[in-house]
Amino acid sequence: MQMKLFLDSAILGEIEFAYKTGLCDGITMNPSLVKKAVDSMKEKGEKAGLKDYIKKALRIAEGTPVSLEVTELDTKGMVEQGKKIFKEFNPVANNIYIKIPVNPSFPNEDGKEFDGVMAIKQLRKANIPVNCTLIFTPEQALAAAARQAHVADDVFQDHDGVIDDDADRQRKPQKRERIQGKSHEIENQE
């Protein structure tokens, strides 16, 4: 298995540094971080627009994947937005992956648990590379892999009280580590 490191940032200086040092195999950016970075530049009096900012990041990362996340939460919206993002930005450096939440549902929104998985399938049919995010269970990771996602961002959280047995805590303290936001490239054997 080959491990790749993806920088979770939208700050151009951080992205440039990560590539300069050779510690970065790709970038994953979420919309709120991009907006925050652009707003910060504007506050400093610098000229900045979202599209131009994203294009700069794509050029810095040329030759490696850059994941741009959708903001829609239903299958149809994610697919439409993913295709639009891909069409607009992939020509810049041919390195766009569309980031789709595997589980886009929120409390009181029953029925959307599989919208992300269905969007992944449709985007892959359109030959658009996909990075899956919001994966909380092994079953969700398997569903993403079965739909031929290229990259999976898993999210593991340490919930207090998961390990209730004091003896078990003493024997296996490493199981209580907090690990968040790891990215794994999925190799689909075809």
Q: Known catalytic residues?
A: 99
DSSP 101-152: ES----TT-TT-TTHHHHHHHHHHHTT--EEEEEE-SHHHHHHHHHTT-SEE
Would you tell me the crossing angle of helices 50-60 and 12-21 to the nearest 10 degrees? 10
> Which two three-digit tokens encode residue 20?
């300069």
CA distance readout (Å), 92 to 124, 129, 153: 20, 15, 24
Residue 115 identity: D
